[in-house]
Structure 1
């Protein structure tokens, strides 16, 4: 918290700290300059969004023969044409270990081998967002935010609670509705602070007891079981870290909501549009700098998601798939416009200070090569406006590594990456 308090300014009143918003007035800039010796700079943010099942490959991808700038925007992304200079296609990437043609999100940010752990039928590794959260999360109330929906079963996402997987390859929980996300971000805690402290102390006491008992058990275990207990201990340490973070932010009120609470039970395009609005609010208030969003599909455009995504040319299912692509593109275009319209303290836009990826581990039908990948935002110093055609079989993790480096995350590799994608860098 110390570095965060140095970076932001706080007012003290009634025994509590109240965070000031990032103000743009000349008087505040003068005050900030005197206090910090420099004008506050907007932080870099990172976001990943997946739509589970893939796309209509015949109408979603630009031609590989039309690489570079000024390519022809495909019909499936026609709503994005006005913002063509603000996003880049990346073609040719895949996860070489992918085997599951109905799991568009499970390994999307990890590239892990499902059978990578001997004796287990499923294993995963840390996702790219959590790599970033481990470094930037110390500055914000939420190290990362995971958004999802109660409508993702059958939507081609695969196992997991969100797009995020922790350092042990375990699923990270999500907020599954716009209303839940809104209240977690902006609604004040109703319990008095002393009661909240007492609950934290009780949780710590339980963890201490479990830790002691687990250590006693460990003495008589074989190597395999000791490995499992080691993973268990890591889980306990993760809980302890979260409790410490909760305690550190207990006296800091949540950010003021920039708009009213959304209606309960939203679905379809309205649900996604509202989640986009909440994403922007979370980033604008610096409640977090890392977000993932596992989007719904089942209620999105109507029809059966599986049948829609396993179309045959000229069928009703193909038309439904195309309609889904257009609806998603329209929403994505709206998100870009909102990010560009959201101003930062230094006069730049939120779009200038975010790196955002949209895509899936599934290209189309059952195909797992040339994963649909669109990159947006100015934070990662990535070339925008391009149809970037890379060598077939380029690890998708090379793209994630390039994004991580671009937003200042210090990491040598990610998953099976072989290096950054130099062609992407400005």
Structure 2
């Protein structure tokens, strides 16, 4: 390997080199801990948990008047006592542009003004998990991972907690078994067939892009804006195709847990989804995760009869 290998060439061949350790001969001396004796910092990661109808104020939030490291944990946060020095509780934040009580997750990671687009009753913007994915997702197989409860249950419009840079919903997965296989199961399709499939998808994408450009001239501003949004969607697909291509011949990580049982609900579903989140982080499969958690099935698994919606309208005391 040439000592002065150009960065451009390295990036072009990243799919083949990604499983190699960082080598001084590639030229990235600053990343080689063996060379400079500096400890390797763990990568930054982010996990977002959405609870739909929300939490009980008196048992979840600490006293807002207690600031600094010596604040007293609330009853709901008490199980995290041994990790208290590792997290910060932020209070007093609210989205002034939405008052939909049943849309607990729609604007939670965006803070968007739903009326920001004239003539539209519902507009959104990019969510925090997708911003994280843009910055931390280049070096992982999956830029982000969106997990879901099977039903909305107070979360509001959206397909997950995630929204892309156009303010469009990002799809999520609600089956722990499917999430497990997405993360850890190898593809049975031969490499050549997978390469051919990506090439075919790219060919279709190029044809669609060419056709769209033909009608671009002479459009009204409204139609031009719509077409720009369409082009952005095509660019997003192209980005995903490039990532898929880069990871084609890189084996998936070995699963640090067994395949989940099918049909888990409520408490058991939450526990296995959170185990999968931890496994995804442990194997560095992704560094940005979100989970839109269930409500009604959780209550049922705890033998609680009221509906999650009715419980959300409780009165303290």
TM-score, length-normalised on structure 1? 0.64
Partner of 1:97: 97
Q: Which whole-Å CA distance do the structure 2 matches of 1:124 and 1:251 have between them? A: 37
> For the structure 1 residues 190 and 126, does the alpha-carbon distance in structure 2 shift closer, same or farther, using more than 3 Å as the test?
same
> For the structure 1 residues 37 and 63, does the alpha-carbon distance in structure 2 shift closer, same or farther, using more than 3 Å as the test?
closer
Cα displacement (A) at 1:19: 3.6
1:108 aligns to 2:108 (yes or no): yes
> For the structure 1 residues 59 and 283, does the alpha-carbon distance in structure 2 shift closer, same or farther, using more than 3 Å as the test?
closer
Partner of 1:264: 262
Partner of 1:119: 119
Cα displacement (A) at 1:197: 1.2
1:64 aligns to 2:64 (yes or no): yes
1:204 aligns to 2:202 (yes or no): yes
Partner of 2:237: 239
Contact 2:44–2:136 (8 Å) recurs in 1: no
Cα displacement (A) at 1:34: 5.1
Moved more, 74-83 or 201-210: 74-83
Q: Deviations over 1:309-356 (max 9, x none)?
A: 111345xxxxxxxxxxxxxxxxxxxxxxxxxxxxxxxxxxxxxxxxxx
Cα displacement (A) at 1:20: 7.1
> For the structure 1 residues 232 and 17, does the alpha-carbon distance in structure 2 shift closer, same or farther, using more than 3 Å as the test?
same
Which residue, out of 282, 289, 292, partners 2:290?
Answer: 292
Runs of 5+ in structure 2 lacking a partner? 1-5, 23-31, 301-305
Contact 1:17–1:253 (8 Å) recurs in 2: no
Which residue, out of 297, 308, 333, partners 2:311?
Answer: 308
Cα displacement (A) at 1:86: 3.5
Partner of 1:87: 87
Helix, strand or coil at the partner of 1:135:
helix
Q: Deviations over 1:51-105 (max 9, x none)?
A: 1111122332222333333333333334334444333322211112122121111
Cα displacement (A) at 1:306: 0.6
> For the structure 1 residues 17 and 183, does the alpha-carbon distance in structure 2 shift closer, same or farther, using more than 3 Å as the test?
farther
Tell me the C-alpha RMSD between the 2 structures: 2.7
How many equivalent residue pairs? 295
Which residue, out of 246, 249, 252, partners 1:248?
Answer: 246
Helix, strand or coil at the partner of 2:93:
strand
Contact 1:164–1:171 (8 Å) recurs in 2: yes
Q: Which whole-Å CA distance do the structure 2 matches of 1:124 and 1:21 have between them? A: 41
Q: Which whole-Å CA distance do the structure 1 matches of 2:40 and 2:100 have between them? A: 46
Higher relative contact order (CA 8 A, sep 6+): 1
> For the structure 1 residues 288 and 36, does the alpha-carbon distance in structure 2 shift closer, same or farther, using more than 3 Å as the test?
farther
Cα displacement (A) at 1:236: 0.5
Partner of 2:3: none
Contact 1:17–1:252 (8 Å) recurs in 2: no
Runs of 5+ in structure 1 lacking a partner? 11-15, 23-31, 315-426
Q: Which whole-Å CA distance do the structure 1 matches of 2:21 and 2:103 have between them? A: 40
Cα displacement (A) at 1:201: 1.4
> For the structure 1 residues 136 and 72, does the alpha-carbon distance in structure 2 shift closer, same or farther, using more than 3 Å as the test?
closer
Partner of 2:46: 46
Instruction: Give the alignment of 1:158-197 within 5 angstroms.
Output: 158-197=156-195
Cα displacement (A) at 1:122: 1.2
Cα displacement (A) at 1:18: 8.5
> For the structure 1 residues 18 and 268, does the alpha-carbon distance in structure 2 shift closer, same or farther, using more than 3 Å as the test?
same
> For the structure 1 residues 290 and 186, does the alpha-carbon distance in structure 2 shift closer, same or farther, using more than 3 Å as the test?
same
- The structure where strand makes up a greater share of residues is 1
> For the structure 1 residues 168 and 108, does the alpha-carbon distance in structure 2 shift closer, same or farther, using more than 3 Å as the test?
same
TM-score, length-normalised on structure 2? 0.84
Partner of 1:399: none
Q: Deviations over 1:170-225 (max 9, x none)?
A: 11111212211110000000111111111111111211121122122222421101
Contact 1:168–1:231 (8 Å) recurs in 2: yes
